[in-house]
Amino acid sequence: MERTDVVIVGAGGGGAVLGLALAQKGIKNIVLEQAPGPPTGLRGEILQPNGQQILDRLGVLSKLPVDATRSVRYFHFCKVGGAREGACPRGEMPVSAGAGRAGATSPGAGGYEKLCTADYGTLPPPYNRAIVTLPNAAHHAILEALEAAAPGALRYGASFKGLRREGERVVGVDVECGGQTAAISAQLVVGADGAYSKVREALGIPTNLHLYREGYLIAILDSPDGLDEGRYFVGRGEILGLFPAAGRKVYLFDMIPAGSMEQVKAQGLEARQNKWIRIDPSLEKTFRTLTDWKQTAYMPTGRVKTSTWVADGAALIGDAAHAMNPHASQGRMQAMADAMALADLIPKCLEKGDVSAAALGEFERRRRPQVEMLQRLADEQVIFWNTGNPVLAFLRDRVFRTIGRNRRLSYRVLETTAGLRETPPFGLLDRLMAGGFLPDPNADRVEHA
């Protein structure tokens, strides 16, 4: 039987980083991935500052291909159809006092109202930007680094089939590869196999998997209009995100009812383009570059809550432990942060010969507060951002506008999205201030977490 120190199931955002971090520490590991090779599909790719920091620590950040990455400083939150007070009649984005930005405008001819701006430039350097990558660019760089650091450790076409146990303790896995089943013995098994984790199921960990009522149509489009700054439109039951990507591309995501992709396709490309043009007419040429549904993909959204992330001889990381709504913009980053925290603990556990749930619990205690804070925040955002209810939408827009004027609150939100905060961005008083129900005497005072 093959033996190793750690078996990692899943070479996604969390598993690949864990394999690499362990290899760099000299810990033997095998990463099992059911897919036949590196992923090629379309998916959302924003590297937040905390993710950049992790990739830098692993020596991968500087290896990201320049032609596949784009640093973005400003993300504007706009109101769908908000051509009224404070509106930008020809798409010119007004300066946001809250974001501390001086005198820039964006091209276009829309009639939307800018509510607030997230300015990544206000974060501590050198990670004071968001990096939008072309699909899978960062992931491919991590997988390449893993294969270089631990040749043969990454096994494609290898599906987890079950856990091997001695008494209650997990001591390895059964894996199916090329129609053959084999056993691998390991001191620790890590489930990094996503929201529908089979490792979690085999461990018998009680799980609450919630599927949200909304998913996303995502697309990568050409950008003849030129887009240098992110735009995020919220309306009544509508969300449209447009992020500039490398090579004059635009990464688009459009909220649609869960499972309605076939219906959307049946309505035709032009109907979808017209919807986007109504929201942001300045990007009509960009939207018209959607000529085939093959340029799009559907992303369902779900949230996972589990009673524990550890067992004797096993741990869960990433979506397997705690998938979250993409509003947090942190799902992949949190999977990577789990991987780094676990990789820091594993050498100590192996040295002591103690991979019990109690010993691995240190990893869970370190990571859970930030993860649960982000899950709660993203769920609140689902209520207010996704809403079709006019009262909730009114309150949401009011909060966005306050944040646009309040440097303290806008910085708190940005720090949270950037993954640099472990505690909630707002206390009760902050919420009242954000809602415009109380004045904020410290609106101009920015404190770093």
Ligand X SMILES: Cc1cc2nc3c(=O)[nH]c(=O)nc-3n(C[C@H](O)[C@H](O)[C@H](O)COP(=O)(O)OP(=O)(O)OC[C@H]3O[C@@H](n4cnc5c(N)ncnc54)[C@H](O)[C@@H]3O)c2cc1C
Contact residues: ligand X, CB under 6 A: 9-15, 32-35, 43-44, 46, 159-160, 192-194, 198, 216, 299, 301, 318-320, 326, 329-333, 335
Nearest distance in Å: CB 311, ligand X: 17
CB of 256 to ligand X, least distance (A): 11
In terms of CB distance, is 72 or 171 closer to ligand X? 72
Select 136 or 402, whichever has its Cβ closest to ligand X: 136
> Which is closer to ligand X, CB of 80 or CB of 321?
321
Which of 88/261 has CB closer to ligand X?
A: 261
Q: Which is nearer to ligand X, 276 or 407 (CB)?
A: 276
- HEC-encoded secondary structure of the chain: CEEEEEEEECCCHHHHHHHHHHHHCCCCEEEEECCCCCCCCCCCCEECHHHHHHHHHCCCHHHCCHHHEEEECEEEEEECCCCCCCECCCCCCCCCCCCCCCCCCCCCCCCCEEEEEEEHHHCCCCCCCEEEECCCHHHHHHHHHHHHHCCCCEEECEEEEEEEEECCEEEEEEEEECCEEEEEEEEEEEECCCCCCHHHHHHCCCEEEEECCEEEEEEEEECCCCCCCEEEEECCCCEEEEEEECCCEEEEEEEEECCCHHHHHHHCHHHHHHHHHHHCHHHHHHHCCCCCHHHEEEECCEEEEECCCEECCEEECCHHHHCCCHHHCCHHHHHHHHHHHHHHHHHHHHHHCCCCHHHHHHHHHHHHHHHHHHHHHHHHHHHHHCCCCHHHHHHHHHHHHHHHHCHHHHHHHHHHHCCCCCCCCCCHHHHHHHCCCCCCCCCCCCCCC
| Minimum distance of ligand X from residue 136's CB (angstroms) | 11
Output the smallest distance, CB 443 to ligand X, in A: 29
Distance of closest approach, residue 47 Cβ to ligand X, in angstroms: 8
Nearer to ligand X by C-beta: 150 or 434?
150
State in angstroms the smallest separation of the CB of 11 from ligand X: 5
